[in-house]
Amino acid sequence: MSGRISIFYGAVVNPQTLTSYDAHPRCLLAVGPSGNIEWMEGDVASHDLESTLAKYGCNNEELIELKEGEFLLPGFVDTHTLLDWLANVTFPMEAKFKDTFINAGTTTACYYATLHVEASKALADTVLDYGQRGFIGKCNMNHDCPSYYTEDSPEDSISNTRAILSYIRSLPAFMAKADPGLLIQTHISENPSEVAYTNELFPEAGSYAGIYDQFGLLREGTILAHAVHLTPGEVDLIQERGAGISHCPTSNFNLRSGIAPVGKFLDKGIKVGLGTDVSGGFSTSILGEIQHASMASKVLQFTADVAGSTNGVVKREGKFENKQLPIPTLLYLATLGGASLCKLEKHIGSFAPGKSFDALIVSPSGKRIGLWGSGEKVEPEESVEGVQRKDLEEWLERFLFCGDDRNIDRVYVQGRWIGGRSFAGRT
């Protein structure tokens, strides 16, 4: 095989379902020249390494060995982030783009860009230059917005949208075969006053979700951000139409919007991903969303318990409703769940032959915050020989709850190393 194949040997955490992930302490994973995963072997002991490589016509030269404590994780998917503030100050911010979004481990992001075509194009160029996988949405607004931030007419809005679409589709990296069709990103039921006002504007639609539905906007590939105050009928409608929900707990806490009942959505079979909602949220890190989604689910759990202790009824019928979201579920939402909102779950979100290698190398050897081990810099062991699945589970939990971007050593998108803590010193 050509030298352009890269083979990783070490621990791999691989999300599978809402309730399970694979954890292989000694995995061999080969990435081909296209950036897709060519093959994977779940458990290869060191003494079988050479013979396994030989079986695939490979040798040690292509090998990248992870150290003890390090592991590969699929890159995070941010299903709702607002880049208005970035797009309006494009050039000074470009250098920060990598620090802010890529080094935090986000390999795919759905950007809510700006009203302006040129700024949206600039954002698409930036995402492309830095090698991130991104969806850029031009905003369309002609109602209840400041006069300097509105489009002259619906016709203008449509032609501007066509302009940005054809621009993005003409970019060299745009792959028609990977085009999942147009995604739609919008907000729904973030807070009670917004819900009341929206329903007042479109009384004939019957509900907030009904408004989108009557315009054909509620469908697969529609990403609905927030969804904190949906009625049971709206939840059913969203489920029937196959639209997905972007859970943005940091923003929802920060703006005191409320807590989206994610467990209820999951019980219904609605697709759910995580979103940072910068700048409603205050961090660009999906790790923060994982932590806050966990907190949010705990609040719903004890609130249901408290209510149950007074009225004797704890509403907890399904597998997830009003229960703490366990680690496999949180991991799924941040990876495969987000990928499914973007209709990319066959390409990204987990590791499998044929899928894109969008990955993070997580490492404890960066400057660490106190709760991760002793708080001192610890050199990892060279060998992964004695590592067990339970060790890997522990590393994952520490990373999700005590880690930050200092623990993201490398970030890959489509097999290309594009960021991470050690990117500056790459060879």
Query: Which residues of the chain form contacts with Zn ion (CB under 5 A)?
Result: 225, 277
The least CB distance from residue 231 to Zn ion, in Å, is 20
Beta bridge partners, 412, equal: 359, 417
Nearest CB to Zn ion, comparing residues 185 and 407: 185
Nearest CB to Zn ion, comparing residues 31 and 82: 82
315 touches 303 (CB < 8 A): no
Instruction: List C-alpha distances in Å: 188 to 157, 158, 234, 327.
Output: 21, 22, 10, 27
Tallying the residues shown for the chain, one arrives at 427
Nearest CB to Zn ion, comparing residues 225 and 287: 225
CA distance 96 to 343: 28
Nearest CB to Zn ion, comparing residues 68 and 277: 277
The least CB distance from residue 252 to Zn ion, in Å, is 10
Q: What is the DSSP string of 358-405?
A: -EEEE-TTSS--TTSTTSS--PPPS--TT--HHHHHHHHHHHHHH--G
Nearest CB to Zn ion, comparing residues 225 and 387: 225
CA distance 88 to 76: 25
3-state secondary structure labels for all residues of 82-115: ECHHHHCCHHHHHHHHHHHHHCCCEEEEEEECCC
User: CB neighbours of 70 closer than 8 A, spacing ≥ 6?
Assistant: 10, 11, 361, 362, 363, 364, 365, 380, 409
The least CB distance from residue 112 to Zn ion, in Å, is 6
The least CB distance from residue 185 to Zn ion, in Å, is 9
Nearest CB to Zn ion, comparing residues 86 and 331: 86
Nearest CB to Zn ion, comparing residues 109 and 225: 225
Nearest CB to Zn ion, comparing residues 139 and 290: 139
Residue closest to 234 by CA, chosen among 195, 197, 273, 200: 195
CA distance 220 to 217: 9
The least CB distance from residue 80 to Zn ion, in Å, is 6
Strand, coil or helix: 189: coil
The least CB distance from residue 115 to Zn ion, in Å, is 15
The least CB distance from residue 181 to Zn ion, in Å, is 22
Nearest CB to Zn ion, comparing residues 225 and 230: 225
| Range list of H helices, 6-108 | 49-55, 84-87, 90-97
CA distance 54 to 47: 13
The least CB distance from residue 81 to Zn ion, in Å, is 8
State which residue has the least CB distance to Zn ion: 277
CA distance 279 to 283: 8
The least CB distance from residue 225 to Zn ion, in Å, is 5
Nearest CB to Zn ion, comparing residues 12 and 228: 228
CA distance 70 to 51: 24
Question: In this structure, is the dihedral angle defined by the CA atoms of residues 405, 408, 410 and 416, taken in order, positive or negative?
Answer: negative
CA distance 295 to 315: 19
The least CB distance from residue 254 to Zn ion, in Å, is 12
